[in-house]
């Protein structure tokens, strides 16, 4: 499950329905346990895509109101959304990967934290099929390496592990700066609340 790079109006309708109604429907379906690292990779990829898209589209819809759909006919605005979507998604993958590996190290005696790099790079490699922009791909790897090298693995899972992706939502959302400044607290909290739900789901599904 990845992110499409080229978004059109017809795609928006499909994505919107999928992102806002699919999570509700999933509560009525059995959730797959996280039994191994492949399951963990799938969980990270899917949840990062969901969190990044539902928060970005939700913020745009709230801020723009009735103009929301009309704005998706503007090619310049579409490009801004695609850029924002990829950057927020990459930050989300980084945050969720580091959080889960830190948790596994602390509570499941995982010693090989290099697994974080393996998972992150495999997800990014898969996103090449979805035409991730090369610049964002390269920047994402560099940023992840920087974060990886300074992580305190014993405490990271309780030390604002989703701060960067929340700030990415605020930074990259294509909304006028003066309006974003007014919305900052709400925007950051919207992302944190989504991550709180993901953390609960992770703990419930974890079966290492």
Query: What confidence tens digit (pLDDT) does each residue in 163-199 have?
Result: 999 999 999 999 999 999 999 999 999 999 999 999 9
What pLDDT score does 15 carry? 52
Angstrom distances, CA of residue 127 to CA of 3, 140, 143, 206: 8, 12, 17, 25
The interaxial angle of helices 177-205 and 75-107, nearest 10 deg, is 40
Banded model confidence at residue 14, pLDDT cuts 50, 70, 90:
low
Q: Rounded to two decimals, what is the model's pTM?
A: 0.85
Contact 92, 51 (CB under 8 A): yes
Contact 11, 4 (CB under 8 A): yes
Q: Which residues pair with 206 in a beta bridge?
A: 34
Average pLDDT value for residue range 47-74: 83
Nearest CA to 88 out of 126, 50, 41, 44 is that of 50
**Domain ranges (residues) in the chain:** 9-25+32-205
Average pLDDT value for residue range 131-147: 97
What pLDDT score does 6 carry? 46
The alpha helices in the chain, defined as continuous H runs, are 9-26, 37-64, 75-107, 115-127, 134-150, 163-172, 177-205
Average pLDDT value for residue range 136-159: 97
């Amino acid at each position: 499950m990845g992110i499409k790079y080229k978004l059109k109006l017809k795609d928006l309708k499909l994505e919107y329905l999928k992102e806002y109604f699919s999570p509700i429907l999933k509560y009525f379906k059995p959730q797959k346990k996280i039994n191994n690292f492949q399951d963990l990779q799938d969980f990270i990829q899917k949840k990062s895509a969901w969190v990044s898209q539902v928060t970005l589209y939700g913020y745009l819809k709230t801020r723009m109101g009735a103009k929301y759909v009309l704005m998706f006919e503007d090619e310049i605005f579409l490009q801004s959304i695609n850029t924002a979507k990829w950057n927020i998604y990459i930050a989300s993958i980084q945050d969720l990967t580091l959080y889960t590996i830190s948790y596994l190290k602390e509570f499941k005696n995982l010693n090989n934290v290099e697994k974080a790099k393996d998972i992150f790079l495999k997800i990014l490699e898969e996103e090449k099929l979805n035409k991730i922009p090369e610049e964002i791909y390269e920047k994402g790897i560099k940023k992840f390496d920087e974060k990886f090298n300074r992580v305190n693995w014993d405490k990271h899972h309780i030390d604002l592990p989703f701060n960067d992706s929340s700030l990415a939502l605020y930074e990259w959302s294509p909304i006028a700066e003066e309006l974003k400044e007014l919305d900052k607290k709400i925007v950051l909290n919207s992302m944190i609340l989504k991550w709180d739900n993901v953390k609960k789901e992770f703990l419930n599904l974890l079966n290492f």
